[in-house]
Structure formats: C-alpha cells, structure tokens
Amino acid sequence: MSKTTNAGTDVDRARPIDHQMGHEFQGYGHLTKRPIALSESVVRQSVDNLNQVLADTITLRDMYKKHHWQTAGPTFHQLHLLFDKHFEEQNELVDSLAERIQMLGGVSLAMAADVAETTLVPRPPKGREEVPVQVSRLLHAHEIVLEEARSMARQAAASGDDGTNDLLVSDVIRGNEKQVWFLSEHVVDVPLVRAD
Ligand SMILES: [Fe+2]
C-alpha cells in the first residue's frame, strides 16, 4: 500500500508543471535602477535609442537571410556566402545591443511583430528580387542604421554613457561601414571580361 502511494507521489513530482501563467515583473518601457552611476534620464535616453537601433538591426539581419536564400544569377555563390556572413555579424550586433539594454536596466525588444512595429527600414516584398535590388535595399537599411547610430553615439557621449557610445561606435558603426563597402562594390558597373 505504502509502496504504491510512494510510487504515485514520485510520478506526480516528476511531472512538468506546464501552461503556467503570471504577470510581467517588468513591463516594456519601464526601467529598473542599477548601481552604474548613470542618472535615470540618461539611461532612459540610451535604452530608447538602443531599442530603435536594435529593431533596425534585427530587420537588417533578417533581410540578409532572406537575400541569402533568394538570390540568383552568376554571382549566386559569392553573394549566398557574403549575405550569410553579414547575417552572422548582424546577429552578433543584435545580441550586444539587446544585452546592453538589459544591463542598463531596460527591457529589450525581441519578437518579430514588435520589431515590425518599430523599425524604420522599409518592408521588402515576400517574393524574390534581382541582385541589384537586393543590394540596394541592404545599402538603404545600412544607411538608416548608420545615420541613427552616429547621432545616438554623440548623444551617449555628451550625456556620459561611455559604454553605449563605445558599442555604437566600435561595433555598430564600424561593422556597418565595412559591410557597406563589401556590398557597394557589387553594384559598381565595371566590365566583367573585356576592358572598356
Ligand atoms: Fe544557409
């Protein structure tokens, strides 16, 4: 009798407790104060700015994967590889930006629907587009990120948030500028076989 009872108890304890519900313990847009010697207004400005550049970076990252899958033509192989390399580099930026927001005491954007509501990068069509159009879309998205990141970096420096300034300058701006170089050389109209 007691053995059966014990066996039954053990089975119940091993059962995963799923379908649990609860309240958010930190809502989006709310800050939790951390002892990092920055005022709440400085942190709020940095978190808001970082969430904007995060949304645009997630969108740019995902556009690279779309183009990695959907590209076509004589440059298929090199662009297929290049787009995936840039996707991975943008993915690193996404993680650094989101974790910077959390370490400042904010809440980072994460899910696609929330990103779509926030991003300034125009939505591309679902179908396949020619290589020059793919490259042009990516260049435009990079320029949006670069323009906002430079302005946000200056704001962060002026308000004393050196960590945010460093992330924006050293990683976001330098990384995006390098990717723009590699991309833009693909839409320079030079002869492939015979010189002009
Ligand atoms: Fe792949």
Please write the tens of the pLDDT for every residue from 151-177: 999 999 999 999 999 999 999 999 999
Ligand 1 center to residue 58 CA distance, Å?
17
Residue 7 has pLDDT above 80, yes or no: no
Ligand 1 center to residue 90 CA distance, Å?
15
Residue 5 has pLDDT above 80, yes or no: no
Ligand 1 center to residue 132 CA distance, Å?
20
Q: What is the mean pLDDT of the chain?
A: 95
Instruction: Using alpha carbons, select from 62, 186, 193, 61 the residue that is nearest to residue 130.
Output: 186
Residue 9 has what pLDDT? 64
Residue 192 has what pLDDT? 86
Residue 2 has pLDDT above 60, yes or no: no
Average pLDDT rounded to a whole number, residues 116-134: 98
Residue 8 has pLDDT above 80, yes or no: no
3-state secondary structure of 22: coil
DSSP 8-class letter at 124: P
| Token pair in block for residue 140 | 């435009």
Ligand 1 center to residue 124 CA distance, Å?
20
* CA of residue 195 relative to chain centroid, distance: 41
What counts of helices (H) and strands (E) characterise the chain?
7, 0
- pTM, two decimal places: 0.93
Residue 1 has what pLDDT? 44
> 185 to each of 70, 79, 80, how far by Cα in Å?
20, 12, 16
Residue 75 has pLDDT above 50, yes or no: yes
Residue 13 has what pLDDT? 87
Q: Which residue has the tokens 């969430």?
A: 51
Residue 20 has pLDDT above 50, yes or no: yes
Ligand 1 center to residue 64 CA distance, Å?
11
Ligand 1 center to residue 36 CA distance, Å?
40
Ligand 1 center to residue 69 CA distance, Å?
7
Residue 62 has pLDDT above 80, yes or no: yes
Q: Give the residue with greater pLDDT, 6 vs 51.
A: 51
Residue 144 has what pLDDT? 98
pLDDT-above-90 percentage for the chain = 91
Ligand 1 center to residue 150 CA distance, Å?
31
Ligand 1 center to residue 157 CA distance, Å?
38
Ligand 1 center to residue 71 CA distance, Å?
12
Ligand 1 center to residue 136 CA distance, Å?
21
**Residues recorded for the chain:** 196
